[in-house]
Chain A
Amino acid sequence: MKIMRSGITFGIIAGLLTFLFGGWSVAVIGSLMGVGLGMGLGSGLERKDPFKIAKDVAPTAVVAGAILTLLSLYQNGFVQDAIGKQPAQLNVMIFGNLIGFLGAVLFTTLLAGMHGLPEKQEQKWKMILLAVLVVAFPFIDKLTALRWTAQIIFALIFVILGLGLNIVVGYAGLLDLGYAAFFAIGAYTTGILSSPQHGLFMNFWLVIWIAAAMAAVWGFMLGAPTLPLRGDYLAIVTLGFGEIVPVLFKNLIDVTIKEPLTCWILPGIIRLFGGETTMACITLLSHEDLTAGEKGISPIGRPIIPIINYEFESSNPIPWYFLIIAIILVSVFIIRRLRDSRLGRAWMAIREDELAAAQMGIDPVKTKLAAFAMGATFSGFAGAFYAAYIAGIFPSVFDFSASIIILCVVILGGIGNINGVIVGGLVIMTADRLFLPALKDFLASLLTHTVLPSISDPVVQLAVKDNANPILYRFLLFGLTLVIMMAVRPEGLLPNAQVRAELHPEDNSVEAATPMAKNSSKG
């Protein structure tokens, strides 16, 4: 009964999503829903014979698929009319819904059934299936003309950022509210080194490492003086750095550096005693424009694959997609190794109890600095990729709200859990980049075609029209995410078992302690 309820919920949500996107989207949404539903159902069931599980979940899968298809058909028949669009062509409608339905049923039963396999095999097959889906996604997206890949790339950039911040917040337990500063440093390093502005056309494959190193160095430099501070003071200071760095990039447009001793201190002293001097003033930089201020740096060099000499283009997101997937894979690999290393265990020891950890011979300052620098490194990668992908960087992108969005990613997904952060990044950024704009268009056309003509009062009409723009409520949604997660589920959607045990001390018994050892090697 419980699994039927989640099936119905998934079906309704997925069906409503097709309202926003229309066309072929039902096929993709149906398959993705199947994957999510299958994983969710599977993990809730007992481990038994795969076929038996598949048989158990099959009715749920069919119901979910049917709800999705019905809603999608309704969308085609009535909703399209209400928002003043032509219904989809017959073949799109038939095949889209068919694929959506079959995808939903197939993936739900398949993934739920995999839970019947022994744990090692289940992991393996799930990874293979996910890998196939990840590889196939951009091509399916291109075939169905949904144009989601470009937005998914943004989500993946934030996944890397979330993974980096997770080292600082999740592993070392230091709240960093200015993480976007390192993102900015990575992006601006790339911009300055590879744009025509300063005449340096460095190769992207080199620049990405320089950007990461630069971010790490700055993480180290900003971390060194601040790390003696405790919890919330550290948070405020990092927020300060997060504010100062974009301001710097915005305002470094007319930089003059004169050596002070020769320019005014010594002459001033000499004049004070009545002497005369004509000391030469050493000028290091004179009216130099480093960052182009609000205008931003643009264009920025793109990666070129050396042997076949292929240059990435902004019109074709598929190579970018695979590049960022590769960066994520490398990052996840490094972060997992780090987490299980001596350093990673030291981070968690510091997070749990700094005093005790110090007693056990861990140097808290060094360990925290390493966390800051490592966290910054990954945002350096993300920044370099971002700069090359957008081909233009502007200081306003990296302000406080960016830091908070990255924090949202980590907190929604699950503090300290790599898989959680990946899911969190995908959820938050697809909501922000795909769902909200689509909802805005949908509401706007629904209003102009159906709702507004029926409102006679022009004041109300204007008020409704102005306020029915979900993008205006972005901050509200991010804020709500933080507040609700903190109140209801502070450990995140996919929690790290250790963090959960810490946040819910009341059920901190044997039950909570045993799966910890098992899970922490997995998550």
Chain B
Amino acid sequence: MLVASALSALLALAVLGVLAGGEVWRHRIVYLGCAVASLILIAGGLKHLGQTPGTGPAIVLPIGLPWLNAHFRLDNLSALFMVLVNVGTTAASVFGIGYTSHLPEPRRVTPFFPLFLFGMNAVLISDDAFMFLVSWEFMSLASWALVMSDHKNAENRQAAFVYLMMATFGTFCLLTCFGLLAGAQGAYSFPAMRATALDSVSGFLVVLLALLGAGSKAGLVPLHAWLPLAHPAAPSHVSALMSGVMTKVALYGLIRILFDLHGHVAWGWGAALMVIGGVTAVMGVLYALLQDDLKKLLAYSTVENIGVVVIGLGLAIAFKDGGEKALAALALVAALYHIINHSIFKTLLFLSAGAVITATGQRSLNALGGLLKRMPWTGAAALVGALAISALPPLNGFVSEWLIFQALFKGPSLPHWAMKFGVPVVGAMLALAAALAASCFVRAYGIAFLGRPRSKAAAEAHQLPGSMRWSMAVLAALCIILGALPVTVTDAVSHVVQPLTGVSFAVSADLGWPWLSPVSSTRGSYSGTVLVMTGLSLFVISILLVHGFGTTKVRRADAWDCGHAEDIPQTQYTGESFAQPLRRVFCGSLFSARETVDMPPPGDNSPARFKLRVVDHIWVGLYLGIQRLVGYVADRVNRMQFLTVRRYLLMMFATLVFMLLVVAVRQQK
């Protein structure tokens, strides 16, 4: 009831958004309404998570296809996603209250925002394939409209076009996937799909299509190309939702199909998923390291984190098929915990990027600098987000990374040789991605928030309205809580995982609260709670020791810099120079990164030029390749427009004969 009323309220808010016109306060009311509706949805999800029978009652509405109706149901998995989705939407809505007055054209944003929220929530509660796809498209189109909101910029139009293409492709794959799941009888409701057994060929195709459909929405390499185009093009609170939350809805679709509707995915797919996840993680973070645009950097970092989650999902599939149910549950808990964490810190980081862009009007890292002093709130919240996404204890990102590593370290216990040799390689990729993520965020944070301002706009950045600051502060607090007190949440998550893996499993089983000891008490354990308390005491002891033995005097002076200090901010490291060592090590072959320096000859006063060339092989090879192919085929097919009537009749006849032959052959069997 709670959920239904909140969802209808979102639809009503969309109408209000249309009526809002040019008055800022009306837009603010719509965002306030969205925040309240999201809070109600969180309450609905939490209320359900506490219940013991995993599935709630089905609700059938007489809409949609006449012979199918619309089925809705809330089970533990959708309740968990409902909570995490709406934590993000609450923060983004509260941010929107203050942010809307800074938008160039708020009336192009406000009506679609509640619709986007509605679409994402409707995907989660759909209980039949038809409603699932309709809601999925609702979500895609609403977000497409939001990407187009600043349509005067040609880059945004192109981004929206690429996004629309990818969304169409994804939905097409999912449509076919559900068609196969429904079987010959056309059983489109989810309970009927669970009951249908799949033969090996359609089982294979279902996983492949789910991976293409949901994977393109989530941003798996090489289907990631639209994320860094579309996410930054939208207004920042929408970017936060697209990157932090909508990708999670895509992963929900993947988990729903692979673990629930399909049920028996072979271990080979698990291995494939782990490799795809590993490649996605490493490629995503390398792309992020090369970006100068703050929002593009964050979008690529989403690609990386999706890769990390998919490694966990692949591991869970392999364990489940190998009969190691407890380990499958561990891997799935780890993946779900990373999904929760990423939705929080990515939303936080995108909102702080939005705050930076609002305050300075600059998106390029090389135009920022020294913002921590001008915007202390945003700077502190972004620091928490950067520490969390770099998987550093005691914050939440580390906990999920730790759980994934613990599950991964048990991977070689699987009987397959491919797994014994492959798991360490995937482990190395995951470790590499985690370490590179830390470099990436030292770079992003250090250049944007620390140092001296690199432009006039950054030097004159101004503080922002309270609602924008509060939404970031709450998300930062959540990062700390989920990191310091992980056990409560992981226990709730293991409740969700139980019907999917068929085993009841608590991550804290052996040592109890507050220890995470997933396999056994001697296998390796972690406690964020104890670590925080000890760390804080050591921190205080070091302050006391230092101040007890020494002096507390401080003198402010000019920077020393080995005697080379100059008052020109351009002498600082830039984003490109920071990334140079990593670019040389990792990107030489992967991105054909080349640096050239043109020095003028002696006596010539013209400036020296440094040129950096980076090639995105996936974009050039795959996407532009497909574009060329489509153009070529279209040219060929174009000839068919100018044939004689005789030839058209001949073609029709040939087609008819061919179809009849197919039918005849099939009946022979």
A and B associate in one complex: no
